[in-house]
Amino acid sequence: EAGVAQSPRYKIIEKRQSVAFWCNPISGHATLYWYQQILGQGPKLLIQFQNNGVVDDSQLPKDRFSAERLKGVDSTLKIQPAKLEDSAVYLCASSSRLGRGGYNNEQFFGPGTRLTVL
Amino acid sequence: DQQVKQNSPSLSVQEGRISILNCDYTNSMFDYFLWYKKYPAEGPTFLISISSIKDKNEDGRFTVFLNKSAKHLSLHIVPSQPGDSAVYFCAASMDSNYQLIWGAGTKLIIKP
């Protein structure tokens, strides 16, 4: 079974530029997550999709971040314009969970995209 | 407001000995806890989990203990092996909202 794919693996941009990250989840996984992990911290959820609908985007800085999941499969996360504090690893994860309840919270992660904003 | 805390940024253990990683939480509504392991340049991978109805879960060399009254959980690795060197994250969720809340991680170094 192929894992979660992300690209690019590394990106260096200057502040005020825009950047986009791509994620392809595990086939059949309905739920997709984007996390931001700043150095020395745990991952912070930015947005969660179930199929192509948004379940939770309460921590997404909507003035500069946007995300979409077309056709309930691949997803893109965009930052425009980037700030210095956006330097982090952006992780995509997917899980097979549908709906709420139950205890199967296992999420499968991609390798991440390391963003450096200069 | 850190709801999940891993107070030890790093831990060094001799190969073959027991590694104990600790995690504290503040939200009594959390009812499911997970440990993830992360190697450099890779995403976290699921290791072991425990629900609040249990106080212990074991999987091979890995055992997680949950003390609900103390809002504390720990991961025991016995015996520790060089391949266990990684960053270990504790995460928690509430069944009614399955978003994972993560600790900052503990870097485990296994010395040969």
**B85: closest CA of chain A, how far (Å):** 17
| Region B57-75 average pLDDT | 97
* Separation of first and last alpha carbons in chain A: 37
Q: What mean pLDDT is predicted for residues B78-99?
A: 89
Output the CA torsion A52→A1→B87→B7 (10° steps). 50
B95 touches chain A (CB under 8 A): yes
Q: Which of A102, A103, A109 sits opposite B44 (nearest CB)?
A: A109
Mean of all residue pLDDT scores within chain B: 94
Quick check: A4 and B105 CB within 8 A?
Answer: no
**Contact status, residue A29 vs residue A36, Cβ threshold 8 Å:** no
Say what the pLDDT of residue A1 is. 64
One digit per residue, pLDDT tens: chain A, 118 residues? Answer: 689 999 999 999 999 999 999 999 999 888 899 999 999 899 999 999 988 899 889 999 999 999 999 888 999 999 999 999 999 999 999 988 654 444 456 889 999 999 999 9
For B93-104, the pLDDT digits (tens) are 887 567 889 999
The answer, for A110 touching chain B at a CB cutoff of 8 Å, is yes
What pLDDT is recorded for position B96?
Answer: 58
Answer whether A103 sits within 8 Å of B44, measured CB to CB.
no
Q: Which residues of A touch B105 (CB under 8 A)?
A: 41-42
Residue position matching structure tokens 């794919």: A5
CB < 8 Å from B in window 30-89 of A: 40-45, 48, 56
**Chain A nearest-CA residue for B88:** A42
Give B105's pLDDT tier (boundaries 50, 70, 90): very high
Q: Do B102 and A40 touch (CB under 8 A)?
A: no
Taking CB atoms and an 8 Å limit, are A105 and B32 in contact across chains? yes
**What are the residues whose beta carbons fall under 8 Å from the beta carbon of B89, sequence distance 6 or more?**
A42, A43, B6, B35, B36, B37, B38, B44, B102, B103, B104, B105
Burial grade of A90 (CB within 10 A; 0-12, 13-18, 19 or more): buried
Phi, psi angles (nearest 5°) of residue B84: -80, -10
